[in-house]
């Protein structure tokens, strides 16, 4: 049995855009070859609009296909695997301790942390929304079995309002989750996650922490230090650590940053 972590760029999304591009081209062809619109001016305007839409849909389809290929665990690049293993390397949990993985998806990061910390308990939470319909609690559990780990558990949860008391966990982690949550204050979501971390616990949170999505993260770093956090670091992961600058640019991952440290 082999683990199936799916893909951060779902095939369903690619197929949807591809089908839309095909439909757009068919409508364009029919309009221009079967005389459905007899007024030349109107036909020209509609044709141009359809052609522009077709080009956009085709571009998006190709872009998403290339993203899917780069993220694939079975492909040559395996960027997802590189990122997961990289983030998990910062997660240090004492024997008998507990770690929270926010937005666990298919369980990849939870399982990677479980492998590195076999004497700790990893709890993965996710809302498993329709946007990533192939991800589920059952998938996480089956992947854990496939990987031979027995120190993971998974449950539904809300990153914006965690169902855990303050200082519950010895470590918290997350990967590419919070930027997907509609919010005007993602720093507040970070604080909600860090709220559950014990004094002396470690954190490793990776996301697209651009100013447009997160605001001033250098100021947030200082805020955490002023709150008494022992160590706080912002690490750029687009300089060759997890990906190249070029990859981060064309893949829309510019601003990818690791927030790591100790409370």
Please give the mean pLDDT across all residues of the chain: 96
Q: What is the pTM of this model?
A: 0.92
The per-residue pLDDT for 219 is 98
Q: Is 21 exposed, middle or buried (0-12, 13-18, 19+ CB in 10 A)?
A: buried
Distance spanning both ends of the chain, measured CA to CA? 39
The per-residue pLDDT for 35 is 78
Strand, coil or helix: 82: helix
Domain 79-262 indexed as CATH 3.40.50.12780 = no
pLDDT at 39 over 90: no
| pLDDT tens digits, 116-142 | 999 999 999 999 987 778 899 999 999
The tokens for 11 are: 């095939």
Assess contact for 198 and 168: CB atoms under 8 A.
Answer: yes
| pLDDT band at residue 91 using 50, 70 and 90 as cut-offs | very high
| pLDDT tens digits, 195-241 | 999 999 999 999 999 999 999 999 999 999 999 999 999 999 999 99
Q: What is d(CA 127, CA 52) in angstroms, rounded to the nearest whole number?
A: 36
Q: What is d(CA 123, CA 36) in angstroms, rounded to the nearest whole number?
A: 59
Extents of the domains making up the chain? 11-71, 79-262
């Amino acid at each position: 049995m082999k683990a199936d972590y799916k893909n951060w760029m779902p095939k369903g999304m690619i197929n949807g855009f591809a089908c839309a591009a095909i439909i757009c081209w068919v409508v364009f062809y029919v309009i221009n070859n079967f005389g459905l619109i007899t007024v030349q001016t109107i036909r020209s305007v509609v044709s141009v609009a359809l052609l522009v839409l077709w080009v956009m849909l085709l571009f998006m389809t190709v872009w998403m296909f290339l993203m899917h290929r780069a993220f694939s665990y079975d492909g040559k690049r395996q960027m997802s695997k590189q990122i997961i293993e990289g983030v998990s390397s910062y997660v240090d949990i004492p024997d008998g301790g507990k770690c929270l993985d926010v937005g666990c998806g298919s369980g990849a990061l939870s399982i990677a942390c479980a492998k590195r910390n076999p004497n700790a308990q990893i709890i993965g939470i996710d809302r498993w929304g329709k946007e990533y319909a192939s991800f589920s609690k059952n998938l996480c559990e089956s992947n854990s079995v496939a990987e031979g780990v027995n120190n993971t558990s998974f449950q539904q949860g809300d990153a914006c309002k965690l169902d855990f008391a303050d200082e519950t966990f010895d470590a918290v982690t997350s990967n590419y989750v919070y930027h997907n949550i509609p919010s005007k204050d993602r720093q507040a979501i970070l604080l909600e996650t860090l709220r559950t971390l014990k004094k002396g616990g470690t954190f490793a949170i990776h996301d697209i922490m651009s100013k447009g999505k997160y605001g001033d993260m250098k100021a947030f770093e200082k805020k955490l230090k002023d709150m008494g956090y022992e160590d706080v670091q912002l690490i750029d992961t687009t300089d060759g650590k997890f990906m190249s600058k070029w990859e981060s640019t064309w893949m829309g991952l510019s601003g990818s940053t690791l927030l790591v440290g100790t409370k």
